[in-house]
Amino acid sequence: MHNVTANGATIPALGFGTFRMPGADVLRILPHALKVGFRHVDTAQIYGNEAEVGQAIAGSGVARSDIFLTTKVWVENYRHDAFLASVDESLKKLKTDYVDLLLLHWPNEAVSLPEQIGALNAVKEAGKVRNIGVSNFNTALMVESVKLSKAPLVTNQIEYHPYLNQDVVIAAAKKAGMAVTGYYGMADGKVFTNPVLKDIGATHGKSVAQVVLRWLVQQEGVIALSKTVGEARAAENFAIFDFALSAEEMGAIQGLAKADGRIVSPDGLAPAWDKVA
């Protein structure tokens, strides 16, 4: 396992995501993921599984201090007082007195950005959050957030997979000292039949999923979230630190990006996405 450092934060480069994971699955698979070596866990208020994430961590036998735990405040909780109350509720569900990283989940124009960033800073100053950041922000919102924030922002969590070029956002993040955390790495399953990825996997004796996760974490300043409800796949997803992709292979995967590669762009939440350079 290796770490990514960003604006003072040390974040395990490979995380275990719990998006669209029912509580029962979290209780079964998360202890197993921690057993195979995962030390970065990602959840969110809107996922509806923070309580199960907290329960799984508490009963896992792994010390809370050894786990990097991320959650995200939902857009309906962005008003200052609601924000603070929602974080307290998240901590209670997660059975912890702090989270390692708290993110704004999506942009929300109904609440001013200074109010959102102010609330993020308030919970950090209160010691409830070790690090703060954003998710699904375009570069303009990201730059504005950095200017508004007293504490450094450490990441922007965004959709990132071989079919979506995110060079513009990664460059802006790097300039601000931030990492990029990529979700949807498997492009909703679309990567599994890709011949380029299959060939690279065959060369290394690795699966397509391992190749994609390796491609993500091998990029400077990029953190990858993996997700599975299968025990064997969880162990497989973690086994990506015993091989490296060549510059040619990295380039071949980068070359799979398409103009219409974005998958996640919900109406009413998505910002005006950056154009690919």
Residue list for the binding site for substrate: 105
Please return the burial class of 242, using the count of CB atoms within 10 Å of its CB with bins 0-12, 13-18 and 19+. Answer: exposed
**Residue 70 CA: distances (Å) to CA of 31, 45, 46, 96, 118:** 16, 11, 13, 12, 19
Annotated catalytic residues are 47
- Cα(260)–Cα(263) distance, integer angstroms: 8
Which residues lie below 8 Å from residue 199, measured CB to CB, with a gap of 6+? none
Q: What number of residues does the chain have?
A: 277
- Cα(69)–Cα(6) distance, integer angstroms: 16
Contact status, residue 208 vs residue 201, Cβ threshold 8 Å: yes
- Cα(141)–Cα(108) distance, integer angstroms: 11
Residue list for the binding site: 105
* Packing angle, helices 208-217 and 247-254, rounded to 10: 100
Q: In this structure, how many other beta carbons lie within 10 angstroms of the beta carbon of residue 202?
A: 12
